[in-house]
């Protein structure tokens, strides 16, 4: 068993797709720690705002197998692959951290995930795991968030979506 920290995002009917993803993660892996949902502007392209959250869970799958399972989850929920890397999507689910591992592999597996440098990944993780240490940097998620230039990537809590997801899993940050 390992402790996995995931980033989930969507900017197409986001509340619907994120709700389905959280429900499916809970059905497969059991109890989840779920962050508040944050609204942010699209990064790398002009498009609708994204809704993003983080989930922490125990996984019986190794990172590579979990990554494959998450790709299948995305595909089941309308993810279209093969287009521009920066584009609108129904669902994007990435392993950001897995225990204290540092690795990369097939299927764009990268732990820790490079997107941890963005507010939409870092802030939700800091909400649910403030004392979790970055396996390379050594600082906690709370310390990384404290040092983050927040004005560069503004976030707004999406109360409606946060409340909707709180009914689907435990939500210590909500």
Q: Read out DSSP for 25-92?
A: HHHHH---EEPPPEEE--SSS--SPEEEEEEEEEESS-HHHHHHHHHHHHHHTT---SS-SSS--S-E
Q: Is 99 marked active-site?
A: no
pLDDT value of position 103: 95
C-beta of residue 19 within 8 angstroms of C-beta of residue 91: no
Catalytic residue, candidates 26, 68, 89, 131: 89
Catalytic residue among 33, 39, 49, 79: 79
Q: 33, 94, 127, 158: which one is catalytic?
A: 94
User: Residues 17-58: pLDDT tens digits?
Assistant: 999 999 999 999 999 999 999 999 887 778 889 999 999 999
pLDDT at residue number 46: 81
Q: Give CA–CA dist 98/140, Å, rounded.
A: 14
pTM of the model: 0.90
Contacts of 18 (CB under 8 A, 6+ apart): 8, 9, 10, 37, 51, 53, 91, 161, 165
Higher pLDDT, 172 or 131: 131
User: Residue 158 pLDDT more than 60?
Assistant: yes
Q: What is the mean pLDDT of residues 1-22?
A: 93
Q: What is the mean pLDDT of residues 128-132?
A: 98
Q: Is 75 a catalytic residue?
A: no
166 pLDDT above the threshold of 90: no
Tokens of 18: 């994120």
Distance CA 4, CA 21 (A): 15
Residue 169: predicted pLDDT: 45
Active site residue 92: yes
> Residue 122: pLDDT above 80?
yes
> Does position 97 have pLDDT exceeding 70, yes or no?
yes
Whether the CB-CB separation of 11 and 136 falls below 8 Å is answered with no
């Amino acid at each position: 068993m390992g402790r996995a920290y995931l980033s989930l995002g969507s900017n197409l009917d986001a509340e619907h797709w994120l709700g389905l993803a959280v429900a499916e993660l809970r059905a497969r892996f059991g109890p989840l720690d779920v962050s508040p949902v944050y609204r942010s502007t699209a990064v790398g392209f002009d498009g609708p705002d994204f809704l993003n959250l983080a989930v922490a869970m125990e996984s019986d799958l190794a990172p590579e197998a979990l990554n494959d399972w998450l790709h299948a989850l995305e595909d089941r929920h309308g993810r279209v692959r093969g287009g521009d890397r920066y584009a609108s999507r129904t669902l994007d689910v990435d392993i950001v951290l897995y225990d204290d591992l540092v690795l990369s592999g097939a299927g764009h597996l990268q732990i820790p995930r490079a997107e941890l440098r963005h507010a939409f990944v870092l802030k939700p993780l800091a909400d649910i795991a403030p004392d979790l240490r970055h396996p390379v940097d050594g600082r906690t998620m709370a310390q990384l968030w404290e040092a983050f230039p927040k004005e560069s990537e503004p976030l707004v809590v999406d109360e409606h979506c946060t409340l909707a997801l709180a009914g689907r899993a435990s939500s210590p940050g909500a």
